[in-house]
Structure 1
Amino acid sequence: MTSLAPQDATRYWLSRRAVNDLFLLYCFDDAGASFESLREEVLARAAGIPDLGVRLREYRFAYPRWVSCDAVASQITEPVVAGSVWTDVVAALENLLSCGVRAEEYPWRLHLFRGVRGAPGGDAPALVAVLQLSHALADGRRAADIARALWSDVPVSEPNSSERVSACRGRLARAVVRGPLLVETAALLKFPIAMARTVIRGLAAERARRELADLTTRGKIPTPATDFPPTRLNHPPAPTSHAIRMLVRDDLRVPGHTVTVVAATAIAVALSRYLSEHGEPNIRLGAQISMAVPAPPSSSSPRNNYADLAIELPVREPNPHIRAARISTALTARRTRTLHP
């Protein structure tokens, strides 16, 4: 058994308030296989992927832990849809977005839509597969690795050294049959040590905050992101339903820029035009963009290794090349500040 890293446990606890699962959609040519045969094949492949053979166990005094389990047939579903066209699948997905997995039961599901007409990527009927993952199990990069292993013979990326240490500890824990009572007792006995470590980390965090403020004042570290006024897109109350629209593009690869920068450049214009058409012109806009970060050198082996970067979208810049360059510069500045030790 392996304890959740703090950032993974946070994603799990947040899922109790709102669904924060990851949904990965893939389209394949439908070869006409039955749902039962597809389900059996997926279960067989999932059995060889360690990330798909775990669930969470909760404790009163200890962090939740990953424990081994077998995937079950109920994790593979064939949702009922109004028809067999792409728009029907999109409508079904809108409903799925509000139905999160319970990681203590199983942290993933796979939804299969067969014989879909009009799906992106081709004219033939498609098999649309939607892999739904608990955010405690994976971030975007790890989720893509899991899906790649499920659809192909490429294994999930090798764990780093700290993960191998955790795996060894997990095998040792199972060897001595660490039951829930023993885990709880061990957590209580370690509580004074954990409190002392928390105080030490708090002091270190305060020193780091002061150093960061000093470096910012001296201009050696970029300044923090500014606030942005709310728009009709994020005014309360929060929406009570979901709507999905998908854009399938093959023109997001521009030399000298990442796909993220190119997409943000286009979104800046789209948002500005939309708000102008709805009575909110000339508003400063910002975006929160997720960025992968290196895993910390610890034995906790976090599955979520990313940071959310707040940047300004230069909507008043008409030249798309200059706009992209400014977005790229802003991301670099936020990344530098975030990764500062």
Structure 2
Amino acid sequence: MTNQRLTPADAQTFWLASKIPNDTFLLFGFAGAPTDLEYTLGECEVRGRSCTDLSLRVNDRGSRGYPSWVWRGVDRSQFIAHAIEDRTWAGCLTEVCALIAEQLDAADAAWRLYVFTDILGVPGVDGPGSVAVLQISHALGGGGRTSAHAALMFGRAGGHVPGIHPPSAGPFALPLAGFRAARAYRDMLADVESGDVPAQAELRPLLRTNDRPAGPRALRTVTRRRSELSGSTVTVAVLSAVSVALAGHLGALGDDPSTLGAEVPMTKPLPRLAYNHFGNVGVGLYPELTADERTAHIAADLAARRVRAEHQAMRAADLAFAATPARLLRWGMTRFDPDVRPAAVTGNTVVSSVNCGVADFAFGGAPVVMAAAFAGLSPMMGLTHVVVGVGDTVTVSVHAAESALGGPGGMDDYVARLNAALAKA
């Protein structure tokens, strides 16, 4: 893969990072600690070398072409044992929140692994535990893909990181792909008119969670067993709980949450055209409905978004974008202004999901017991959630700015509401 160009979708993500930080942060909690930390980090280093993606960095000379992936190798500088004074779970999350402000330069290294040992209060751990945090460039994909890299470093046997199949892009690829995309889009409009395909999700009015983030930022987690969450899927159950908690919290602050909706990243149909092979869709949260009605409506919204995503027009649009010349996309990214504020949004919060699979890896003999992830904030999003599962444990991670939840104490009040809502989910 050395000297292979970034796909347009991944290059766009790489360039966007300079305007809106978008590194992925994956956290893993382990029951216990390695007896020899340096030896354990050495094992992780060796396993990291076996994964091609982890040995790469981005080479972007600012030419007319796309950046390329070039060989860097894996070395010990990417493994950082982090000593902190407050060794509680809350203290660890405070340190991780500070790390989020220190984004990677993927032209130097596309990831780092931070390790915290002797942490008290790790969810699911009696006594001291260990915490490892993988910070990885979003150009290598979102949490759903990059969690596989982490599992491999921690010793998962026979693990698989999804590959990509970018289309070839010759000099006349864009006009042909654009023609096909326009034709497929006309077909989709007819299918929407006939009722065979759902219409695009409606945009949502702005709420305080969509204000530019201001004030201190914080991280929190709420952990449950899968069996404790009802609903068609874990994601639906969490979306329903977020609806109850966020509507109650915003209502208490004087906002009208009746139009509440969430922005949900959704994986696109295979084959993968890029590492970042997903789209963000809008889902209603229906806070005014009963619990059963709300989960049914949320599940129906997600199903409708999947049906639309599977239409040939969506694939044709992706193929047209994949044929975009680098010079044109570079120009477009220079014109992107993150300070422009639209009148409506896809969602009032973000709720994404990551499935880490079975709990079959460890850190120096300490088994994994939980996993979490934290989505970054943006000028239009001051509150994000990530639902992460490993084994039978599900963790809902919350990242918020003080301004999004009503000032000091707002985060703890909101998480208390979310905890109560999940208990009834």
Instruction: Name the structure 2 match of 1:76.
Output: 79
CA displacement, residues 123-156 of structure 1 (integer Å, 9 cap, x when unaligned): 1211100111111112222112112211123244
Question: Among 188, 197, 215, which residue is 1:221 paired with?
Answer: 197
Q: TM-score, normalized by length of structure 1? A: 0.84
CA displacement, residues 209-265 of structure 1 (integer Å, 9 cap, x when unaligned): 222212111211111111111111112x33364211111111566566111111001
Question: Among 192, 197, 203, which residue is 2:179 paired with?
Answer: 203
Instruction: Name the structure 2 match of 1:338.
Output: 309
Is the counterpart of residue 122 in structure 1 residue 125 in structure 2?
yes
Is the counterpart of residue 286 in structure 1 residue 261 in structure 2?
yes
Superposed displacement of residue 31, structure 1: 3.1
Evaluate the alpha carbon distance shift between residue 87 and residue 282 of structure 1 in structure 2; reply closer, same or farther with a 3 A threshold. closer
Name the aligned partner's letter for residue 7 of structure 2: A
Whole-angstrom distance in 2 between the partners of 1:84 and 1:9: 38
Which runs of 5 or more structure 1 residues have no equivalent in the other structure?
167-189
Is the counterpart of residue 57 in structure 1 residue 29 in structure 2?
no
Decide whether the 8 Å contact of 1:49 with 1:155 is kept in 2: no
Decide whether the 8 Å contact of 1:57 with 1:64 is kept in 2: yes
Question: Among 225, 230, 237, which residue is 1:250 paired with?
Answer: 225
Decide whether the 8 Å contact of 1:268 with 1:314 is kept in 2: yes
Decide whether the 8 Å contact of 1:55 with 1:104 is kept in 2: yes
Name the aligned partner's letter for residue 193 of structure 2: T
Is the counterpart of residue 44 in structure 1 residue 46 in structure 2?
yes
Decide whether the 8 Å contact of 1:252 with 1:263 is kept in 2: no
Evaluate the alpha carbon distance shift between residue 149 and residue 101 of structure 1 in structure 2; reply closer, same or farther with a 3 A threshold. same
Evaluate the alpha carbon distance shift between residue 246 and residue 10 of structure 1 in structure 2; reply closer, same or farther with a 3 A threshold. same
Decide whether the 8 Å contact of 1:79 with 1:92 is kept in 2: no
CA displacement, residues 252-283 of structure 1 (integer Å, 9 cap, x when unaligned): 66566111111001111111100111011453
Superposed displacement of residue 107, structure 1: 0.7
Evaluate the alpha carbon distance shift between residue 14 and residue 43 of structure 1 in structure 2; reply closer, same or farther with a 3 A threshold. same
Instruction: Name the structure 2 match of 1:169.
Output: none
Q: Percent identity?
A: 30
Instruction: Name the structure 1 match of 2:17.
Output: 15
Whole-angstrom distance in 2 between the partners of 1:303 and 1:241: 32
Deviates more, 1:141-150 or 1:245-254: 245-254
- Please report the RMSD computed on the Cα atoms of aligned residues, expressed in angstroms: 2.3
Superposed displacement of residue 109, structure 1: 0.5
Decide whether the 8 Å contact of 1:288 with 1:309 is kept in 2: yes
Decide whether the 8 Å contact of 1:77 with 1:109 is kept in 2: yes
Aligned length: 309
Whole-angstrom distance in 1 between the partners of 2:198 and 2:60: 41
Deviates more, 1:38-47 or 1:82-91: 38-47
Whole-angstrom distance in 2 between the partners of 1:25 and 1:282: 31
Decide whether the 8 Å contact of 2:33 with 2:117 is kept in 1: no
Name the aligned partner's letter for residue 197 of structure 1: A
Q: TM-score, normalized by length of structure 2? A: 0.68
Alignment of 1:165-244 (within 5 A): 193-194=170-171, 196-235=172-211, 237-239=212-214, 241-244=216-219
Which structure has the larger Rg? 1
- The structure with higher relative contact order (CA 8 Å, sep 6+) is 2
Instruction: Name the structure 1 match of 2:280.
Output: 308
CA displacement, residues 37-85 of structure 1 (integer Å, 9 cap, x when unaligned): 3332221221112221111112412211112221122211123423211
Superposed displacement of residue 161, structure 1: 8.4
Question: Among 250, 258, 261, which residue is 2:236 paired with?
Answer: 261
Evaluate the alpha carbon distance shift between residue 161 and residue 19 of structure 1 in structure 2; reply closer, same or farther with a 3 A threshold. closer
Decide whether the 8 Å contact of 1:288 with 1:310 is kept in 2: yes
CA displacement, residues 149-206 of structure 1 (integer Å, 9 cap, x when unaligned): 111232442656848x99xxxxxxxxxxxxxxxxxxxxxxx9xx53x32222222222
Whole-angstrom distance in 2 between the partners of 1:109 and 1:141: 17
